[in-house]
Structure formats: structure tokens, C-alpha cells
Structure 1
Amino acid sequence: MDVYRSARDMALAERPDHPVYCFHKGVLEADARAFRTMFPGKTAYAVKTNGEPFVLQTLAGLGYDCFDVASPAEFEAVRAVAPRAEMLYMHPVKAQSDIRLALETFRIRVLAVDHEDEAAKILRIVRALDLDPTEITLSVRIATKGHAAYELSKKFGAAPGHAVELLQRIHKLGFQCGICFHVGSQIEDPDTYERAIASAAWVRSRAGVPLAGLDVGGGFPAVYGADPRKRGNGMPTLPALMEQIRSDIAEWGFDDVPLVAEPGRVVVAHCLSLVVRVLLKKGRRLYINDGIWASLSDSWTGKLTLPARHIPDPARRRRTGNPNTLVAYKVCGATCDSVDILSRPFWLPETVDTGDWIEIGHIGAYSLALRTHFNGFYPDRVVEVTTAFEEGGEVFGTASVETMGE
């Protein structure tokens, strides 16, 4: 991997005409250490967020030895960089062949369920492999309600009463029992965790079975950009959130239960930025060489506010407008699909023009994971940059869509 001091240095040296990911390794190391230090339990990094080898290798090098996985491809990715790491199979609905692979080949011993038929699938395979069920934990996922950019209980999770029955059934079958939940991604209300933990306490008290663990899932928010016309970003800070979670754990009587968290976005969001090129400036529209079908889908579906930095092309000597005047530009992606338009405009200097570059910050979460080959566009070049995005020069925010004129 080539190394540069800053994204600007890379852009001016390589003059890339295709998107380039800038990996800020020091940022990843700092954020990963911070989360693990603050959380009062085991940290299981959610591989789905960013499963690139350079990310997993960095985490393994920091001593991360537990990973939340959802598929055989993720089993393999973790095994390749951390052969002795523990893996938690927390996808509630799994193919039978994948369950067998997890139990037999990868020796995974913690699996999530939210329905009795899923538990029955696991039981059949455990018996076929002649495994001891007391060495396997089935963690019942309960449905939760809250405010988040992505709600996840619409698809997964047992209602509290159903969860009680599942735990009792699992216990009778000889498995160890756990409770898990996932409040969604980018939570906006810190009380969301308190409500979920309270629900888990209700389930625990009525099930009356020994608990091997409580998995509080993910949802820990990462800080992105901000609308220059507004104050703050509306997200609770990680230290404040952790303090509340510790208080909630004690209040609802889970001090005696091993805890697990599955952070993803909060660990990796800031470790990557993306340098794109302006293919065309058309009035207040900028056409760039990336978009929602490549690195920026999360900024569209999650309506995230991404920070951006203008990198002018020094070869362009003539510019129009005032460099100190910020303009809200609608950003269009590279594909021929007319929906390939970011949901948030970029506020950039009025002088931005065709051929310039834009460094888009904080795209470490889901950007590489959600890339497609649509229209043949697939950004895949990664360089290491030793300067954190925030330290690379002036950053221009993005705005909420309602502040944007056509």
C-alpha cells in the first residue's frame, strides 16, 4: 500500500481520475482502543461494517480477539487474519449448511436465534455432529424500539413473551442461554439502550433460566459532518453513552452477567476518506466519479451528513466566483442511473470546477462493503495517509436537503 502524508499530496502526485480510498490507520487504532477501553465487557467487532483485510489485520494487531460474523465469507476473512479469534454468529436466520460449517469447521459456539424453528435447525446439526449442547450458547434476539438512522427490529427479533418461551425451550434442550438485541445503527436517542436493557431484564426474570451473557449489539453512533447552518449533530457522545449504559446495566441487575457489544461504525467510520474527481460542473450540480452504487450508498440510505474538502487542480488557472463563498452543490454519481444523486448536498467553495478533487471524510463504515459493479464502476484503490482527515486542512460541511435549492 502506497503511503502519503495527506490526501491532497496523493491527489496532486497521482492526479487520479478514479476514486481513491485513503486509509488513516492511526485513526482506526485510536478509535478501536477507545471503544474497547470504555465498554465494560467483551468487544466483538461487526465484520459487516468493513471486512477489508487491512482493517481486520489492524484490529487483530491491536489485540481484538472476538468478531461478530454473519456468513462463511466473514468466517474466512476473520480466520485469515486472526486464526485463534472467537467468532459470534449473530445473524438470526441462517442456512443449514452455514450452521454446520460454523459449528464443525470454524468451531463457532455462540449463535443467535429469534424463532423456535431456527433453534430446531441448530439442534438437528448439533445432534448430527454429536456435539455437546452445553458447550454452545444460543442467544435469543429480542425486538427493540428506538430512534436510529437504520431500524433493525423491523426484520429481526422476538417479542418479549416469545423470547421467554424460546429461552425456556433452549434451556430444556441443554444449550446455554443468552439474550441479545440490536437497537439499530446511528442511534439518536441514548435512552434506546435503557429501554432495550429493561426489556431484556423483563425477559430474564420471567424465563427463569441461567444466562450465559447479554449482548447489547451495535448502534453506537459515529460523528459525521454538520450542516453549516445548524449547531451540533444531534448524536450522543460515546463517553456519555457508555456512562449511561453502565448505569443501566447496574440498574437492571445485569452486573453478574458477561456483557458483549458489537461495534462497527463507531470503530471504523473515521478511518477512511475518499478522494473523488469532479467530472463536470453544471451550474449548482457536481458530477463526480463515485456515487450511491459505489462508496456513497450509506450516505444516501442513511442520509448521513458527510464532511468534504475541496482540493483544487493547480492546472486550472482561471476560476470564477469567490473562494470564500460556500455554495450548496447537488452531487450526482458516476452511473447513468438517474437516482444516483446523494441525498445531502455538499457545501463547497463557489470556485470548485471540473477536474478538481474532493476529499470526502468518514466513509470507513459500509463504503467498501456496499460497493457494486453497476455500470462497471468499482473503486478499489487504497493508499495509506498518515494525517487524519480533520487535520488535513479546511473542511466544508454538508447540509440537510431542505436547505438546498435546485
Structure 2
Amino acid sequence: MSMFSKSHLLLVIISFLIVPFVCSGQGAVIRENFRGEKLKVYPDGRIEYFNGDPYEPTEEDGLITYPVFQGYIEPLDGEVSVNEVDLYKIAQRRSQLSSTAAELAQQRLTQAQENLQRLQDSYNAISGDESRRDILQKQITAARRTLEQSQTQLNESQRAAQQDDQLVKKGGFIESFNQRVRENRLREANSQRIRSASNQSYAQLIPLTNNTAASSFEDLMLRPPRRECRYAFDGQDAETGRYRRDLQPELLFSYTDERLRPYLQDKEYLVCEAYISSAGGFRYLTLNFTFAYPNAQEAYGFIDQNSVLTIKLLNGDVLNLRSGKMDRGQYNTVKKELTYSVYYPIDRSYIGLLKTSEVDLLRVFWSSGFEEYPIHQMDFFQRQFQCLGD
């Protein structure tokens, strides 16, 4: 039998041995081989890895029945559905961030090695100046400790990167996601139970602090003085001719993946500033994302037009907005920052809730899957709508 015939027969055997589970947009079904590798099998018999790389089955593969992938995905709140492709993208992003952390750890280790060598060379070049040699000896001791710490960080980063890579290849990212959803759901239920049992608002549950004003006995942390309304634009829009008002952007949240935090010094990996606009009787939320590391474009991709932005309020309500445009990000070579700017029209039916409720977190859907961000300014929408006069 020719090689072509064997290969053709092998694909036929595999196609019949595999029982369908989930269809993708191109009609592929998701499978696992006996090694636990995730595969996509198309109606024409073509097989590839889940990440799109071509898959060449062996005769050993063909003689073993492929197990059906018995995956269950915990549903998200807000009536937003996710599938295994979404979760795979998220796992890929986490794996890429882990690899970046390992690369940064290697750079730090190299710098520590070079610094130690430089100090040792200086020490060996000095003779007779004991005070200078004592200073260098202390610096060498400190440099050795830094080198040891850098080596430990590199080992941990490489181990984490390997684990995340295996999570992608073996398909365990679905159960990992399910576990996180269950834990978050339990944590939210406990918080809600505490608030319900006490019959108090979230603000009332926070104990008084030392910021209580002596004259009114009001806690300035809970009820801070009203901020001055500041406008970035207030006038006639040059393009539409309509009256437009943009509030001044303010920090909404910042986020740094814990695997990257040791290597970014005092900088946040992602900072998001936001503001609300009114134009032509409509309201818009604009989010300006700034990444402090250029590889974010590879890890996060872009924000597509009509992609979902989920706003989760502290009272448990969930609102979904849709982006009004696509943004692939722009890299500033001077500041070495990657920025995205996306606006989301706000449905009129949501304004009443946003004016009276505090926001808990945002769920942003990137092309690489969604990510959730806790909000720093929980009264952001309340204040901004108040400034717009709504």
C-alpha cells in the first residue's frame, strides 16, 4: 500500500473513531488524542492542533479510539456566553504573559551576573586602598544576594510558564476557569449574605475611620466632599455640528498580572482612564487603556467593534455595553506605551441604574478573550452623570 493510501486510510479511521462534541464556526469538532492533546477535526478529515498548527497522526494514533472531550463551562453572569475557544484564547494569553515574565526574569538575572562580575573586577584591580576594598566587598555581598534572588525568580517564572503551557496543551484551562467562576460566585454570595443580614448598605458596613469631621461627625472617606466637575470639551462638535460635552478622563482601574509585577518596578502593567460624554441626546463611555509593556498587543490583541463590555454593579446587577468601533492599539515609541481608546454607547435604560449604583468590576472582551478588572472609583458613574446634569 502506498504512503498516500495509508495516510488516507488513517484519516478515515480517525474520523470514524472520533465522536463529535462541539462544532466551531468552521464545522470542526474538538477532540483529545490519547496523549491528552486537544485537536480540531474538520468534516473533510483535516486535523490540526487546537492552536491551528497542522497535526500529523501516526499509526499509533489511528489504532486508539480518541476520547470525547467531556467539557462543561460554567456560565457567566450577564447572559454572556463563552465557549472552549474563548477559554483557550485566555489560556494562551496567560501562557504568553508567563513566558514574558520568564524572559524578564532572565534579563534581570543576566544584569545581576554582569553587575557582580563588574564589582569583582573592580575589587581585584584595587590594591592598598583597604577602605575602598571594604566598600566593594559589601557591594559584592549584596550583589550575590541579588543574583541568588534573581535565580530563584527565574526558576519560579520558568516553572509557572511551563505549567501554563501545559494547561494550554492538555486542555485543563476549562476546569481552571470553572473553578475560578465557582470561587467568585461563592465569594459574592457570602458578601451579599452579610449585607442582607445586616440590612445595611455597602457604605454603612465600612467602619468609621480617623477621617471623621469633628463638626458633623461624617466620615470623609465614606462621604468625601463633592469633586469639582471638569470638562475636557464643552461646545459644538466640529464634525456633527451638535453640542457635545466630554468630562475629564479619570483613573478607573489599574491592573498588573502578578507574574509581571516583580519586573515592572513601580509601574502598572495596565492603566485605564475613563470618561462619559453627552452628544446629540446620547451618552457614551470612553475607556482609554494604556499598557506599559509593548508585548501586550500580542497577548491581548484588539477590541473588536460590537464587542461586549460587562459592567457589574455592587448590588449584583449586570449591564452589557457594545463597543462602537474597533481599536487595534497604537504604540508610542517615545513613551514606550501601547494605548487603546474605545467608546461604548450607553443604553438609556441603564442610566438610572448607573446614576444610583456603585460599580464593582468591568469585564472587557479582548480578541484574546475577556478579562475582569476590579474598579478603584466605585462611584465613577454616579459622579460623572451628576456632572453631565442627567
Q: TM-score if structure 2 supplies the norm length?
A: 0.19
Give the number of the structure whose residues are more often helix, by fraction.
Answer: 2
Q: TM-score if structure 1 supplies the norm length?
A: 0.19
Higher-Rg structure is: 2
Structure of greater relative contact order (alpha carbons < 8 Å, 6+ residues apart): 1
